Amino acid sequence: MILQKFLPYNPLEEVPLPGIKPMDLADWLRPDEAFSEQLAYRAELLSNRRDKVLMMHPDAQSAAQELLELVLHHRYGGARDHVIRPDGVSVTLDWQQPLATLGQICQEDFCILERPDGSPEHILTGAVLCFPASWTLGEKFMRPLIGIHDTVDSYDSKMASRVQRLFDGVQVGRPLWRFNALWYHSAELHAPRSVHAPRDQSHGQDAPYLRSEQQVILRLPKCRSVVFSIHTYMVHRDEVMAEWGAKGATL
């Protein structure tokens, strides 16, 4: 199991959907105590299940390279050839495989969403998604936002319009963020589930693990594509309640 002991926000706080807040760009991509273990698992997934966790349309290559450049300037001093990760591991940068490279230097999963001329919504054109929570990249790739969320009961037409406005309005250098949180019986980070599979029964009020995603929306300055990054936390119930139980409602 790969677990964290702390979360940088109160996961028990009740926040009206979609729960979007402004974020200081300096707080984006902060490693935590599970960095080394999560990155080792990501390397395993990228090696053994690459076709399941990484997909990109050829037209998204420039956006993916711009994202890699942004991440390198933000967290790795603008490196061009290689980086030394916070856990001391050296990674050679491959600019022809930008999403795979991102998957080896950050804890976050990254999704690239672009809005082609004439499209009413942003479309998922590329992603490195090692830690899916009850969905599969293959079923969402090249689909619009409403298609990506078609199994989410609360994602109705009103919510879809609100989310699309957020994607249209997010400004360069002014990211937005939200979190989700669910109790799980399993601490497995790589938890894909097809829309055709039985509904996931791995979470519930009595489950021992809290899985929470810090989701960030930001705009790339050059190509103007939108990036959706996901930092996944898995924390034991005892740790969550010790830190936050007296500060917020129980999920």
The 10s digit of each residue's pLDDT in 28-63 is 999 999 999 999 999 999 999 999 999 999 999 999
Mean pLDDT of 171-175: 96
**How far apart are alpha carbons 19 and 216 in whole angstroms?**
12
Exposure string of 125-141, with b = 16+ CB inside 10 Å and e = fewer, is bbbbbbbbbbbbbebbb
pLDDT tens profile 181-197: 999 999 999 999 998 88
Identify the CA nearest to 64 among candidates 213, 218, 227.
227
